Structure 1
Amino acid sequence: MTNLVHLNALRALEASARHQSFSTAAEELKVTPAAVGQLVRTLEQWVGAPLFYRKTSGKARLIATENTKLALPDIRAGLDKLSLGLDKLQAGSDSGILTVTVSPAFAAKWLLPRIDSFQSSWPDIDMRLDISAKSADFALQAVDIGVRYGAGDWSGLISEKLMTEDVYPVCSPQLLKQNGGVDLTQQTLIHDLSMTDYSGLPSWDEWLKKAALIAVGLTEIDTSRGMQINNSAAVLQAVINGHGVALARSVMARDDLAAGRLVRLFPEIEFVSSLAYYVVYRPESAGILKLQAFRDWLFTQASTDDSFEINKNVDNAGGIESVIKNISQD
């Protein structure tokens, strides 16, 4: 137990090794670079050997020695266990900071418009949102819970399906009205590049193949052309602004459809994605009260959304009949 006197030094060592810099480690630990350097030197004196090779130039100023590299996995695991232990001490409390990780598009289009109801129900829980397109390391970044999009298999995490979704084309009401219908052969297709890494997500090509079974002529559309955007929320905003037609995901588009900012085209065609939204968290954290509260709230909100059906009685100008008519006149 005497080694625990070096706890702060071990935190400084781990952060310095990960960032290869005292300065960057200091920013993370919210201390000065001099303090981090002193903590590492104290640990080196205790060990009796250097823990880093120092460089005076280049991006990586610190290179871990072989002994340091061997020790780091156990040190990181130990720090993670200590952090988890502190979380469990607070497990019976309905207060504190809850760290939630979500993607930028999910935050903008689903979570933030609904978050007031959680904060009203749990006013003593302060939320820290980690909004990133990259998957967070729950242990390393001290994340409590998150919502991820995919097939539901993430190593080391419990994943519970939150919402499935349909995929369908959408346009703005103004575009639909101005053109008296929507002929996809004459419209700019908007492509969501943020989805290209998700195997199994329906593409324009796949949707059009299914649509062609109902509407002759849709296979003539060139899907290699159009506008490309690498953010799902920005894709929908481009459609709202009248820049073209996008293949939308129902979870992302639900609020805009309900508010009349978007119109669903071809409601006759159902295309269910094989991917879904999942609530994810570490098994060790399952008993934390604030995590349970947020998890239950997410499922309540998702259930409320599922019970609300978007009006599918769109103008015939946006349906299959209009496309067939437009194509036959070309």
Structure 2
Amino acid sequence: MKAPVYLNALRAFEAAARLQSFAAAAAELHVTPAAVGQLVRGLEEWLGVPLFHRSPKGKLRLVPTEAAERALPDIRAGFDRLTIGLSRLREGAGGSVLMVTISPAFAAKWLLPRLERFRDECPDTDVRLDTSHRLADFAEQGIDIGVRYGRGNWPGLVAEKLMDERVYPVCSPRWLESHGGSITAADLAAATLIHDLSVDTHAGFPSWGAWFEQAGVKGADVTRGLQINNSAAVLQAAIDGQGVALARSVMASDDVASGRLIRLCPTVEFASPLAYYVVYRAESASLPKLVAFREWLHREATR
């Protein structure tokens, strides 16, 4: 079996074993299911051992054999190393591409307004942003580094705390003026509340109900109001005067500093149990482009 075919066969085998389907593996690899099956059978013939258990009728069931299960972690680690090696080769060619995964809201409200400063420092590094609510697979998607929001525990990734966060209510100057220019915690019980559905309240993130409880306001109806599943859109709704948002300080910092948003009831706030973390694979830690971006993120967080 020639080297390119050998690598293709290993890729087909790994995908079929992980996805437990030739069809799913074919879709991921952009080939036909028949091509995946042929590559797997060719690899079995070359190795002289079966890779999947077969039913009595000879139909292939995508359950890896014990030997295959033992080999899969090393095969996956090998593909990871190849990805890193290719990244180093691209860097050696002159330019450099840095793949960064972040949430759409964090991109809009924090990273993009600051990113020009990184480009000024590292003009030879092209940043490509992967913005999604779904957690990216670093090895599969060729991601170099990311910023995630949570408790700092993501399997297979190094996590360095970047920023803690506070939670407090905000509104627009126009909204505040239309409500007399000042407002108390009790007054907010009758206001239109804007709820951020993008955060996981089960992880301990404070809700409007928890905020009113800490403020000593009883009987507030926190089931009503505007519900949005994007933190940036939550803040924009507040900027547009649609109500009062329970804001995350990192997301709202620029809007508060500029006066687009006004912080209400400053004596009542929560320290969020969640924080922002810089995440990357340990194998990639020494890549110059990753080191430069990671150090820049930490500097920006302390500005």
TM above 0.5, one fold?
yes
- Unmatched 5+ stretches in structure 1: 55-61, 213-217, 305-330
Structure 2 regions of 5+ residues with no counterpart? Answer: 55-59
1:324 equivalent in structure 2: none
Helix, strand or coil at the partner of 2:138:
coil
Q: 1:200 aligns with which of 204, 209, 230?
A: 204
Contact 2:52 2:64 in 1 (8 A): no
State the match for 1:302 in structure 2. Answer: 301
Residues 9-46 of structure 1 deviation map (CA, whole Å, 9 limit, x = unaligned) = 22233334445666765665466777656644543543
Q: Is the 8 A contact 1:92 1:289 kept in 2?
A: no
Letter in 2 for 1:15: A
Alpha-carbon separation, structure 2, partners of 1:164 and 1:42: 52
Shift of the 92–152 alpha-carbon distance from structure 1 to 2, 3 Å rule, reads: farther
Residues 166, 271 of structure 1: 8 Å contact kept = yes
Matching residue of 2:138: 138
- Mapped contact 1:92–1:288 kept (Cα < 8 A): no
Letter in 2 for 1:188: T
Q: Where do residues 135-284 of structure 1 align in structure 2 (5 Å cutoff)?
A: 135-180=135-180, 181-182=182-183, 183-197=187-201, 199-212=203-216, 218-284=217-283
Give 2:64's match in structure 1, choosing from 53, 63, 66: 66
Deviation for aligned residue 1:146: 0.8
Deviations 1:89-122 (A, max 9, x none): 5677873221111112111211122222222322
Cα pair 2:14 2:75 within 8 Å, conserved: yes
> In 2 relative to 1, CA 153–19 (structure 1 residues): closer, same or farther, beyond 3 Å?
closer
- In 2: Cα distance, 1:101 partner to 1:48 partner: 41
Q: Against the structure 1 CA distance between its residues 15 and 155, is the aligned structure 2 distance closer, same or farther, given a 3 Å change threshold?
A: closer
| C-alpha distance in 1 between matches for 2:135 and 2:257 | 30
Distance 2:291 2:8 in 1: 31
Would you say how many aligned residue pairs link Structure 1 and Structure 2? 293
Provide Cα deviations, 1:274-322, integer angstroms capped at 9, x if missing partner: 3211111122211100001111111121122xxxxxxxxxxxxxxxxxx
User: How does the TM-score come out when normalised to structure 1?
Assistant: 0.76
Structure 1 partner of 2:14: 14
* Identical-residue share of aligned pairs (%): 61
Range with bigger deviation, 186-195 or 134-143: 134-143
For 1:122, give the aligned amino acid.
Answer: C
1:16-95 aligned within 5 A: 16-19=16-19, 25=25, 28-29=28-29, 39-40=39-40, 42-47=42-47, 64-67=62-65, 71-88=71-88, 95=95
Q: 1:272 to 1:93 in 2, by over 3 A?
A: farther
CA offset digits 1:158-194 (Å, max 9, x no partner): 2221111211001121111112134212211121111
Tell me the amino acid that sits aligned with residue 84 of structure 2: L
Kindly report the root-mean-square deviation, in angstroms, between the aligned alpha carbons of the 2 structures.
Answer: 3.2
